[in-house]
Amino acid sequence: MDIPSNNTTPRGFLLQGFFEFPHLRPLLFLVLLAVHLATLSGNLLILVAVISVPSRPPMLLFLCQLSAIELCYTLVVVPRSLADLSMPGHGRGSPISFLGCAVQMQMFVALGGAECFLLAAMAYDRYVAICHPLRYASIVTPGLCARLALACCLGGLAVSVGLTVAVFHLPFCGSRLLVHFFCDITALLHLACTRSYVDELPLLGACLVLLLLPSMLILTSYGAIASALRRLHGGGGRRKAASTCASHLAVTFLHYGCATFMYVRPKSSYSPRLDRTLALVYTNVTPLLYPLIYSLRNREITSAIHRVLGFRGSGSV
């Protein structure tokens, strides 16, 4: 049952998860477990494959960081969800402490934000590779890659801490039942007592920094790339250059599409059960698709994976 409280700081929350579907929970557990193990295996394989490459080009370093982020991203949400699904029942939800909820939300936002910045850095890498190929090695150095990787992580961390502090300073009175399987921002805002648009400002600010700013950088990079491709006379060179961007564009559309649909909208349009279903997709399916997209489209990754698995052959696509 919902537990009312007159305090502005509750003792904790209840994650409803999928407790209202007792007959579907065993099947959902098996499906999520299979997807989770496949996601862990795919991202770990890319990490090992990149590490095994003697001379790693910058794009492989970025892919390594992307796989590490996805690995941590799924570990923040899925193990807890699997544990809740395996339990016989907790009434209407699984209890999570106030601090535990805050930490989970902060880590989720930090990793998602770091990925937003990383995708912008990868777009810049593609811009230099296509528009300034002769200067690529002197511009995109391992030192620059390390600085960009650190900046992505610190940027995501800074925004996540500010957003978490703002959200958890809101008054949570009355029901503390989150119709979700993890402490997502929209679910927490929906649970807050206030009905003012002021409490949505931190989320709006985070979206501006994590979504709008990197997306503008990505659009600028690809605008320059498109202009450079139009100037190429050979169709083969144009196709080869465009092919190097295909994987990054696919991952970018997936990540930004899900994040924009979930978080760039007013609180009044929030639908708890619909958002919970969509969150199930972007926390489980999209992290599984990323290694598949890159392993199928990137010849260097494919070759490295073949070496790790002991296959003979070039691994070209």
- Per residue in 9-30, pLDDT (tens digit) is 447 898 988 888 888 888 999 9
Mean pLDDT of the chain: 82
CA dihedral of residues 249, 253, 254, 260 (deg, nearest 10): 150
Number of H helices, E strands in the chain: 11, 3
Predicted pLDDT at 90? 56
Quick one: DSSP state of residue 20? Answer: T
Give the three-state DSSP class for 183: coil
Q: What is the enclosing helix (H) or strand (E) of 243? A: helix 235-263
Q: Residues 98, 10: contact at Cβ < 8 Å?
A: yes
Q: Evaluate whether residue 313 is within a structural domain.
A: no
Asked if residue 106 has pLDDT above 70, the reply is: yes
Structurally, how many domains does the chain consist of? 1
Residue linked to tokens 């370093």: 61
Compare 313 and 103 and report the one with higher pLDDT.
103
Q: Is there a domain that residue 6 lies in?
A: no
What 3-state DSSP class applies to 69? helix
* Edge-first strand listing for the sheet containing 177-178: 94-97, 12-15, 177-178
The model carries a pTM of: 0.86
Residues 252-280 pLDDT 10s:
888 888 888 888 766 666 788 888 888 88
> What's the pLDDT at 5?
43
Name the phi and psi angles at 148, rounded to 5. Answer: -65, -40
Q: Which residue has the higher pLDDT, 127 or 56?
A: 127
Predicted confidence at residue 315, as pLDDT, reads: 41
Does 7 reside within a domain?
no
Domain of 179: which CATH number? 1.20.1070.10
Is the pLDDT score of 317 beyond 70? no
Helix (H) or strand (E) holding 100: helix 98-131
- Is residue 247 domain-resident? yes
Decide which of 130 and 55 is more confident.
130
- 288 is in which domain, residue-wise? 13-305
Domain annotation covers residue 314: no
